[in-house]
């Protein structure tokens, strides 16, 4: 009998992609692919969904990730970014259910000094309300032995850094690229494939806690953007400027989000790709579309 997986946040980029790849091997349930069909602020509706599907695994991709919005709407965003996790585990306890949970988290709490990559036990920093909420949600998950994936990803979907750069090139729109912010993201294609690979391992074994999941090397956001621009060379785009982030961002955020991913690679026996490989694959895909 196929295992049952419930994906929350399935109308978002990651959740939507996970539904598509996981439904090949599992009975996958979700809360809507185009838009959210269930109001997560309603404890009763959430409980009804979980009890009805009775999943072996919940993957929680639901989150409000707009940093500026989180600053202005702390109570509203906390209901999704924190309280949702509380309610999921309350439903589990009250109804004596036996599902496991994978929580999708972020690299936004890392900012190690001397440009060093952060490990899972490195000091975390609260730069903004979003970071604060994600750390609170992680605390809830750790108490309930969930698997927490701190990650960053890019895709050719709207409201994504990769998409924004590509569209700026195509439309010859002037952009500023931050030369002082570093990260090691994965493409949405690789990320969903990796998560689908670790799902059976997680279901079978006692693996829980925090894991960094990203590409094996690091890059500045400016070099990330410049690489895309140069690879799309037929568009001859030069309308960009390399700048420091402090003068352009409304909400304070970290600059060194480099993650050490050795724990993930060693635990799950997966070799993570380089950023260059990820970018080449993604640019090749979108070149067919544009």
pLDDT attached to residue 225: 97
Is residue 165 included in any domain, yes or no?
A: no
Is residue 105 included in any domain, yes or no?
A: yes
pLDDT > 90 in the chain, percent: 89
Is residue 97 within 8 Å of 127, Cβ to Cβ? no
Looking at the structure of the chain, the number of domains it has is 1
Is residue 69 included in any domain, yes or no?
A: yes
**33: domain CATH number?**
3.40.50.720
Is residue 229 included in any domain, yes or no?
A: no
Backbone angles phi, psi at 134, to 5 degrees: -65, -35
Is residue 15 included in any domain, yes or no?
A: yes
pTM of the predicted model as reported, rounded to 2 decimal places: 0.95
DSSP state string for the chain = ---EEEEETTTSHHHHHHHHHHTTTSEEEES-SSS--S-TT-HHHHHHHHHHH--SEEEE------HHHHHH-HHHHHIIIIIHHHHHHHHHHHTT---EEEEEEESTT---GGGPPBPTTSPP---SHHHHHHHHHHHHHHHTT-EEEEE-EE-SSSSSHHHHHHHHHHTT--EEEESS-EE--EEHHHHHHHHHHHHHHHHHS---EEEEES-SS-EEHHHHHHHHHHHTGGG----EEEE-GGGT-SS---SB--B--HHHHHHHT-PPPPHHHHHHHHHHHHHHH-
Residue 120's CB is within 10 A of a number of other CB atoms, namely 18
Is residue 117 within 8 Å of 258, Cβ to Cβ? yes
pLDDT by residue (tens digit) across 57-108?
A: 999 999 999 999 999 999 999 999 999 999 999 999 999 999 999 999 999 9
pLDDT attached to residue 158: 75
Q: Over 80: is that where the pLDDT of 7 sits?
A: yes
Q: Among 103, 121, 104, which Cα is nearest to 112's?
A: 121
Q: Over 70: is that where the pLDDT of 142 sits?
A: yes
Is residue 266 included in any domain, yes or no?
A: yes
Is residue 264 within 8 Å of 215, Cβ to Cβ? no
Q: Which residue range is the domain that position 25 belongs to?
A: 4-155+186-217+259-273
pLDDT by residue (tens digit) across 218-244?
A: 999 999 999 999 999 877 899 999 999
pLDDT attached to residue 125: 96
Is residue 73 included in any domain, yes or no?
A: yes
């Amino acid at each position: 009998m196929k295992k049952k997986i419930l994906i929350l946040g399935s109308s978002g980029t990651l959740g939507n992609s996970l539904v598509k790849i996981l439904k090949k091997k599992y009975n996958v349930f979700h809360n809507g692919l185009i838009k959210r069909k269930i109001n997560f602020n309603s404890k009763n509706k959430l409980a009804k969904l979980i009890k009805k599907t009775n999943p072996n695994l919940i993957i929680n991709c639901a989150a409000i990730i707009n940093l500026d919005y989180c600053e202005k709407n702390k109570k509203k965003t906390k209901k999704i970014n924190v309280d949702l996790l509380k309610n999921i585990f309350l439903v589990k306890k009250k109804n004596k259910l036996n599902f496991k949970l994978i929580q999708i988290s972020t690299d936004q709490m890392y900012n190690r000094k001397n440009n060093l990559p952060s490990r899972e036990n490195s000091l975390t920093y609260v730069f903004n309300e979003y970071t604060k909420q994600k750390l609170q949600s992680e605390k809830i998950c750790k108490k309930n032995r969930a698997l927490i994936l701190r990650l960053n990803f890019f895709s050719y979907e709207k409201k994504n850094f990769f998409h924004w750069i590509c569209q700026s090139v195509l439309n010859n729109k002037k952009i500023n690229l931050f030369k002082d912010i570093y990260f090691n993201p994965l493409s949405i294609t690789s990320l969903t494939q990796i998560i689908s690979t670790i799902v059976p391992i997680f279901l079978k074994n006692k693996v829980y806690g925090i894991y960094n999941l990203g590409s094996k090397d690091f890059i500045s956001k400016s070099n990330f953007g410049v690489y895309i621009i140069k690879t799309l060379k037929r568009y001859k785009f030069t309308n960009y400027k390399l700048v420091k982030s402090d003068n352009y961002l409304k909400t304070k955020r970290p600059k060194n989000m480099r993650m050490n991913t050795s724990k993930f690679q060693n635990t799950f026996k997966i070799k993570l790709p380089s950023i260059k490989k990820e970018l080449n694959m993604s640019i090749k895909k979108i070149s067919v579309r544009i």
